[in-house]
């Protein structure tokens, strides 16, 4: 969003405690924010009204990071121990979420995300993009060509 010289940016004090709260993502309708917090003693995914309002809902139950909304607003995804998890949600009116997260898929690239999402969801909510990385990097191949100039000059004169 670009703010012109006459527009003012308003900040919202999100965190109202001393816990680590990060990786915020707004719901598609802008009424709720999903985030990770250590308020329960370990990193979990929570949802709160945005920009203000009462209520906080814990979404993950066994540690959770990297929350992301399905573009249709009916699902919230997060990572738990190398698995992409899905929870059905409703953001129209009062927030509600399914009681039990469901595994979507397991992928080694999801492990150790450091909080931020290493995946994305297609606009139709049917496909996922993950970041791949090479676990074993082979030694680089270096070729040294000596005395190439005389050979090159010989080809030019032909």
Rounded distance, CA 92 to CA 126, Å?
Answer: 22
Q: Which of 80, 124, 127, 74 is nearest to 103 (CA)?
A: 80
For residue 135, the model assigns a pLDDT of: 60
- Supply angle C-alpha 39, 75, 92, rounded to 5: 90
For residue 46, the model assigns a pLDDT of: 93
For residue 114, the model assigns a pLDDT of: 56
% of the chain surpassing 90 pLDDT: 33
For residue 113, the model assigns a pLDDT of: 47
Contact between 34 and 76 under an 8 Å Cβ cutoff? The reply is yes
Q: For the segment 136-158, what is each residue's pLDDT rounded down to a tens digit?
A: 666 666 666 677 677 667 666 66
Output the average pLDDT for the chain: 80
- Supply angle C-alpha 121, 30, 12, rounded to 5: 120
Q: Which residues pair with 48 in a beta bridge?
A: 33
The helix/strand/coil state of 149 is: helix
Please identify which residue in the block is written with the tokens 């698995």.
83
Question: Token digits for 54?
Answer: 């009462």
pLDDT average, residue stretch 2-14? 61
Rounded distance, CA 140 to CA 130, Å?
Answer: 26
Q: Which of 40, 126, 37 is nearest to 86 (CA)?
A: 126
Rounded distance, CA 119 to CA 66, Å?
Answer: 9
Q: For the segment 79-101, what is each residue's pLDDT rounded down to a tens digit?
A: 998 899 999 999 988 899 998 99
Break the chain into its structural domains and give their ranges. 21-135
Rounded CA Rg of the chain: 24
Q: For the segment 16-56, what is each residue's pLDDT rounded down to a tens digit?
A: 666 666 778 899 999 999 998 888 788 899 999 988 888 88
| The CATH number fitting domain 21-135, selected from 3.90.1150, 2.30.30, 2.20.25, 3.90.1200 | 2.20.25
pLDDT average, residue stretch 114-128? 79
What would the DSSP string read from start to end of 133-145?
--SSPPPPP----
Residue 133 has pLDDT above 80, yes or no: no
């Amino acid at each position: 969003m670009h703010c012109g010289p006459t527009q003012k940016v308003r900040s919202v004090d999100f965190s109202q405690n001393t816990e680590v709260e990060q990786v915020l993502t707004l719901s598609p309708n802008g009424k709720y924010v999903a985030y990770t917090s250590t308020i329960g003693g370990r990193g979990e995914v929570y949802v709160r009204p945005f920009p203000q309002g009462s209520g906080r809902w814990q979404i993950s139950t066994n540690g959770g990071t990297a929350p992301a909304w399905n573009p249709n607003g009916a699902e919230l995804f997060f990572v738990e121990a190398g698995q992409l998890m899905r929870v059905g949600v409703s953001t129209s009116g009062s927030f509600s979420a399914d009681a039990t997260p469901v595994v979507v898929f397991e992928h080694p690239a999801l492990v150790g995300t450091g909080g931020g999402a290493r995946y994305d969801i297609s606009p139709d909510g049917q496909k996922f993009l993950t970041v791949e990385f090479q676990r074993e990097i082979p030694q680089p191949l270096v070729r040294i060509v000596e005395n190439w100039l005389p050979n090159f000059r010989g080809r030019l004169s032909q």
